[in-house]
Amino acid sequence: MSKEKTTKNREAKSLDERIEQVYALAEEHFGEIRFAGIKKHTKIGWVAKVRFDAFESLAAEGETAEEAVKNLRKRLKKIIDRYHMV
């Protein structure tokens, strides 16, 4: 699923590793997480999503699954950084 390439002592992360990283980051900051994953949407491409409870969730889109997870991680980090600024 993911391309295996190495750049400057960093190995490319698999999609599962990226999702685990997002899950851990969200769980550390928000607490209990119900769902973290991706799905293919017919019109917009890939959607990465973290669901916190029955009503709250955070999602990001991308043309590829890896891009969607990266975008979700960026959004999550921005929220956490803003929280720590206050």
For range 29-57, the mean pLDDT? 91
Residue 41, beta-bridge partner list: 45
Predicted TM-score (pTM) of this structure: 0.80
Domain boundaries, the chain: 13-85
Pick from 29, 32, 31, 65: which is nearest to 49 by CA? 65
Per-residue model confidence (pLDDT) at position 1: 46
| pLDDT for residue 9 | 61
Q: Are 72 and 21 in contact (CB under 8 A)?
A: no
Condensed to tens digits (0 to 9), the pLDDT of residues 1-37 reads 445 554 456 777 899 999 999 999 999 988 889 999 9
Domain 13-85 top-level CATH class:
alpha beta
Task: Give the per-residue pLDDT at 67.
Answer: 95
